[in-house]
Structure 1
């Protein structure tokens, strides 16, 4: 397992730089690739934003500056034509193609904003990912997949209700912690790999999640499921045991314990 991935699993949450972390994850699938040109591109984008956003002192102006630079000058937009292309969740390929998924583009927007010390977070919206610019004073929500268009309250409610529970009142959407963002990125890759019938690839991606974010119960469960498909009973026992060390949820603990008891003895 890559040393950078192990390190990412140990670093403090607030010390994770999303763009650098996402590049490290992408590098696992592009061994030997020189990342210097990609860091240079990120530095160039930062420099342009610093100029364009020089007098942007409120969230609305900063959102406009981000859109002008990332979507306008550098051409980063959502890939609506080949949405399920695995390249859309691979930051190396996103930087090459200037196309991506909502989560990969939002990582780029948030990381670029944070480079200038601006407040920015990814918003976990059912079926989509948005970006929140600003925190306390008149924050602005934008959609990087759609070149940074503003998302007002009505549009946000429509998105949540379209992919969530129709009868459930919309009270708030939550900002995603850094590790959860990276798990979401890998989850996009894993779901597409499994849909394509690539079981080993899917298992590798869930394994990466458990190394990078060892408290993510869902990743351990999916890893155990795929290890059982692979008939690797010992590995599945280890993954299920990890869940018991993490969760205090009684129902989940019962389910995991029953699954462990049903496994054949070695």
Structure 2
């Protein structure tokens, strides 16, 4: 690979690697650093300010109040037109379009809630993503479908409707922020492969190397550099 291209790739991914290595990094910092690796001109602080403004408009600082505000007032909903587009994995585009994948809509909810003093957590079901209350294991919300106050049995039924037959109570346990980012990287990898987007795939594969969950992918990351040669 051309040394200049390799250096450019490293410069784009290094800030993301630095952020995810920090144990106290916030979820919005990590996800926006990932977005910036794909979009070098992204103004991370500007996007964080957008989330601040969004949160300031939330009239009811409760878990249900946050979810209703994002759905009814701010207009966030699932993208059912181009679900797998890479922009649906970028928080900045989801904030701009008010459309996204379940996981990025969950990130919006978690970060808006955090700003109004409400704790929400990511819930990583197989094939879907919810938010939950870490202090109440009986409450869940589905920002993609605009549903709130889901019970545990309703979450299980949701998976059945999505074609997932196996079940474990562990599916409803909160997901650490780093694993939310890892799952977003999985979505980006699939999106770039599906669209034959070699340049973004190379960036994504090297961003994955910053997480221990993908430590065995070194050869695949190197192979992804081929389009940049």
TM-score band, normalised by shorter chain? 0.7 to 0.9
Aligned length: 214
* Structure having greater relative contact order (Cα 8 Å, sep ≥ 6): 2
SS in 1 for 2:129: strand
Change (3 A) 1:224 1:68: same
1:42 paired residue number: 51
Give unmatched runs, 5+ long, in structure 2. Answer: 1-9
Asked whether the 8 Å contact 2:17–2:207 carries over to 1, the reply is no
Query: What's the CA shift string for 1:99-122, capped at 9, x where partnerless?
Result: 100010101111221223322110
Instruction: Determine if the alignment matches structure 1 residue 225 to structure 2 residue 223.
Output: no
SS in 2 for 1:125: coil
Between structure 1 and structure 2, the one with the greater Rg is 1
CA displacement at 1:135 relative to structure 2: 1.4
Asked whether the 8 Å contact 1:45–1:69 carries over to 2, the reply is no
RMSD: 2.4
- Between the aligned partners of 2:154 and 2:93, the Cα distance in structure 1 is 30
2:195 paired residue number: 196
Asked whether the 8 Å contact 1:88–1:100 carries over to 2, the reply is yes
Instruction: Determine if the alignment matches structure 1 residue 29 to structure 2 residue 28.
Output: no
Asked whether the 8 Å contact 2:202–2:221 carries over to 1, the reply is yes
Asked whether the 8 Å contact 2:121–2:132 carries over to 1, the reply is yes
CA displacement at 1:34 relative to structure 2: 3.0
1:5 paired residue number: 16
CA displacement at 1:40 relative to structure 2: 2.2
SS in 2 for 1:26: helix
SS in 1 for 2:124: strand
- Between the aligned partners of 1:84 and 1:229, the Cα distance in structure 2 is 20
SS in 2 for 1:197: coil
Asked whether the 8 Å contact 1:125–1:159 carries over to 2, the reply is no
- Between the aligned partners of 2:142 and 2:164, the Cα distance in structure 1 is 22
Deviation larger for 186-195 or 199-208: 199-208
Matches within 5 A, 1:170-249: 170-173=168-171, 174-211=173-210, 213=211, 215-216=212-213, 219-225=214-220, 227-228=222-223
TM-score by length of 2: 0.82
Asked whether the 8 Å contact 2:20–2:30 carries over to 1, the reply is no
Give unmatched runs, 5+ long, in structure 1. Answer: 54-61, 232-266
1:19 corresponds to which of 28, 45, 51? 28
Asked whether the 8 Å contact 2:139–2:149 carries over to 1, the reply is yes
1:236 paired residue number: none
